[in-house]
Amino acid sequence: MNDWYRHIIIAPILVPLVAGALLLFFDERRRVLKAMISVVSCVLLVGVAIALFRLAIKGPQGGFDGVYLLGNWAAPFGIVLVADQLSALMLVLTSVLAIPALVFSLARWHAAGAHFHSLFQLLLMGLNGAFLTGDLFNLFVFFEVMLAASYGLLMHGSGSMRVKAGMHYIVVNLVGALCFLIGVSTIYGSVGTLNMADLALRIADLDPDRRMLLEAGAGVLGVAFLVKAGMWPLNFWLPAAYSAASAPVAGIFAIMSKVGIYVILRLSLLVFGEGSSAGFGLNVLLYGGMATILFGTIGVLASQALGRLASYSVLVSSGTLLAVLGLGNGVVTAGALFYLVSSTLTLGAFFMLIELVERGQDAGATVLAVTMEAYGDADEEEEETEIGVTMPATIAMLGTCFAAIGILLSGLPPLSGFIAKFAMLTGMIGVNASNAVGISLSVWLIVALLILSGLAALISMTRAGIRTFWASMEGTVPRVLVVEMAPVLLLVAVTLVLTVQAGPVMRYMEATVERLARPTLYIDAVMDARRAGQPAQTPVGATVTEEGI
pLDDT of residue 155: 84
- Rama region for 20: left / alpha / beta (φ>0; ψ in -120 to 50; rest): alpha
pLDDT of residue 101: 92
The mean pLDDT value for 228-239 works out to 87
Q: Is the pLDDT of residue 392 over 80?
A: no
pLDDT of residue 449: 92
Beta-carbon contacts of residue 362 (< 8 Å; ≥ 6 apart):
472, 473, 474, 476
Q: Is the pLDDT of residue 436 over 80?
A: no
pLDDT of residue 549: 31
Q: What is the pLDDT of residues 267-285, one digit of tens each?
A: 888 887 654 344 567 888 8
CA atoms within a 13 Å half-sphere pointing along the CA-CB vector of 360? 25
Q: Is the pLDDT of residue 538 over 70?
A: no
pLDDT band of residue 475 (cuts 50, 70, 90) is low
Return the higher-pLDDT residue of 500 and 165.
Answer: 500
Residue 523: strand, helix, or coil: helix
Q: Which stretch of DSSP H or E encloses residue 408?
A: helix 394-410
How far from the centroid of its chain's Cα atoms is residue 119's Cα? 17
pLDDT band of residue 98 (cuts 50, 70, 90) is very high
The mean pLDDT value for 114-127 works out to 90
Distance CA 429, CA 444 (A): 8
Distance CA 120, CA 125 (A): 9
pLDDT of residue 27: 80
Distance CA 289, CA 217 (A): 21
Q: Which one, of 34, 117, 121, 101, lies nearest residue 483 by Cα?
A: 101
pLDDT-above-70 percentage for the chain: 84
Contact 87, 120 (CB under 8 A): no
Q: DSSP H helical segments within 106-135, as ranges?
A: 116-132
The mean pLDDT value for 178-183 works out to 89
pLDDT band of residue 418 (cuts 50, 70, 90) is very high
pLDDT of residue 472: 54
pLDDT of residue 371: 45
pLDDT of residue 534: 63
CB crowding 379-394: b at 16 or more within 10 Å, else e: eeeeeeeeeeeebeeb
Least confident of 231-240, 296-305, 439-448, 535-544: 535-544
Mean pLDDT of the chain: 82
Q: Is the pLDDT of residue 131 over 90?
A: yes
Return the higher-pLDDT residue of 492 and 201.
Answer: 492
Q: Is the pLDDT of residue 295 over 60?
A: yes
Return the higher-pLDDT residue of 530 and 34.
Answer: 34
The CA-atom distances, in angstroms, between 320 and each of 258, 405, 503 are 12, 18, 22
pLDDT of residue 71: 78
Say which DSSP state 76 is in: T
Say which DSSP state 376 is in: T
Max CA pair span of the chain: 81
Cα dihedral 408, 410, 411, 417, rounded to 10, equals 30
Q: What is the pLDDT of residues 323-357, one digit of tens each?
A: 998 887 778 888 999 999 999 999 999 999 988 88
Q: What is the pLDDT of residues 146-155, one digit of tens each?
A: 999 999 888 8
Length of the chain counted residue by residue: 549
pLDDT of residue 364: 46
pLDDT-above-90 percentage for the chain: 28
pLDDT band of residue 404 (cuts 50, 70, 90) is very high
pLDDT band of residue 3 (cuts 50, 70, 90) is low
The mean pLDDT value for 287-300 works out to 92
pLDDT band of residue 387 (cuts 50, 70, 90) is very low
Contact 294, 449 (CB under 8 A): yes
Return the higher-pLDDT residue of 146 and 358.
Answer: 146
pLDDT of residue 94: 93
Type of residue found at 415: L
pLDDT band of residue 385 (cuts 50, 70, 90) is very low
Distance CA 316, CA 298 (A): 10
Q: Which one, of 456, 477, 342, 337, lies nearest residue 398 by Cα?
A: 477
Q: Which of 205-214, 361-370, 531-540 has the highest mean pLDDT?
A: 205-214
